[in-house]
Structure 1
Amino acid sequence: MRTRKLRGLTVSEIGMGCMGFSHGYGRIPDEEYSIQAIRAAYEHGCTFYDTAEVYSPNLEGIGHNERIVGKALQPMRRDVTLATKLFLPTDEARRDGVYATLRHHLEGSMRRLCTDYIDLYYLHHLNPDVPVEQVAEGMGRLIEEGLIRAWGLSNVGVRAIAKAHAATPVSAVQNIYSMMERDCEESVIPYCMEHGIGVVPFSPIASGFLSGKITPRTRFEQVDDVRNVVPQLSRENIAANQPLVEILRDYAARKHATPAQISLAWMLHKYPNVVPIPGSKNQSRILENLDAANVELTADEFASLERALDSCAIHGYRGCVEIE
Structure 2
Amino acid sequence: MAEVQKVEMPRVKLGSQGFEVSRLGYGCMGLTGIYNTPVPEEFGISIIKDAFNKGITFFDTADVYGIDHANEILIGKALKQLPREKIQLATKFGVFKIEPTHVTVKGTPEYARSCCEGSLRLLDVDYIDLYYIHRIDTTVPIEETMGELKKLVEEGKIKYIGLSEANPETIRRAHAVHPITALQMEYSLWSRDIEREIIPLCRELGIGIVPYCPIGRGFFGGRGVVESVPKNSLLEIHPRFTGQNFEQNKNIYTRIDALAKKHGCTPAQLALAWVLHQGDDIVPIPGTTKIKNLDDNISSVRVKLTKEDIKEISNAVPPSEVAGQSVTEALYKTSWRFVNTPLPKDSK
TM-score by length of 1: 0.90
* Pairwise CA distance, 1:98: 4.1
Name the CA distance, whole Å, in 2 between partners of 1:215 and 1:4: 34
> Which residue of the partner structure matches residue 150 of structure 1?
160
Aligned amino acid, residue 211 of structure 2: P
* Pairwise CA distance, 1:29: 1.0
Mapped contact 2:223–2:229 kept (Cα < 8 A): no
Q: Please say if 1:34 is aligned against 2:44.
A: yes
> Which residue of the partner structure matches residue 4 of structure 2?
none
CA deviation map 1:157-205 (0-9, x unaligned): 1111111111111111111111111111111111101111011111111
* Pairwise CA distance, 1:24: 0.3
Mapped contact 2:32–2:65 kept (Cα < 8 A): yes
Aligned amino acid, residue 278 of structure 1: P
Gapped regions of structure 2 (runs ≥ 5): 1-8, 98-106, 341-348
Identical residues among aligned pairs (%): 36
Name the CA distance, whole Å, in 1 between partners of 2:231 and 2:143: 40
* Pairwise CA distance, 1:216: 8.6
RMSD over aligned Cα atoms: 2.0
Query: Alignment partner for residue 57 of structure 2, among 47, 50, 63?
Result: 47
Mapped contact 1:216–1:239 kept (Cα < 8 A): no
Aligned amino acid, residue 64 of structure 1: A
Aligned length: 312
CA deviation map 1:230-258 (0-9, x unaligned): 21100422221122212221221122211
Query: Alignment partner for residue 139 of structure 1, among 129, 139, 149?
Result: 149
Alignment of 1:1-324 (within 5 A): 1-7=9-15, 8-57=18-67, 61=68, 63-74=69-80, 75-87=82-94, 98-215=108-225, 218-222=228-232, 225-310=233-318, 313-318=321-326, 320=332, 321-323=335-337, 324=340
CA deviation map 1:48-103 (0-9, x unaligned): 1000011113xxx2x2101111111232211010000012769xxxxxx9444322
Aligned amino acid, residue 73 of structure 1: L
Task: Give the match's secondary structure for 1:241.
Answer: helix
* Pairwise CA distance, 1:275: 0.8
Instruction: Note closer, same or farther for the CA distance 1:265–1:216 as it changes in structure 2 (3 Å cut).
Output: closer
CA deviation map 1:271-309 (0-9, x unaligned): 332111111222221222122111111222223223333
Aligned amino acid, residue 136 of structure 1: M
Mapped contact 1:17–1:277 kept (Cα < 8 A): yes
Instruction: Note closer, same or farther for the CA distance 1:182–1:113 as it changes in structure 2 (3 Å cut).
Output: same
Mapped contact 2:229–2:235 kept (Cα < 8 A): no
Mapped contact 1:215–1:239 kept (Cα < 8 A): no
Name the CA distance, whole Å, in 1 between partners of 2:187 and 2:212: 6
Task: Give the match's secondary structure for 1:150.
Answer: strand
Task: Give the match's secondary structure for 2:262.
Answer: helix
Moved beyond 6 Å, runs of 4+: none
Gapped regions of structure 1 (runs ≥ 5): 91-96
Aligned amino acid, residue 85 of structure 1: K
Mapped contact 1:217–1:235 kept (Cα < 8 A): no
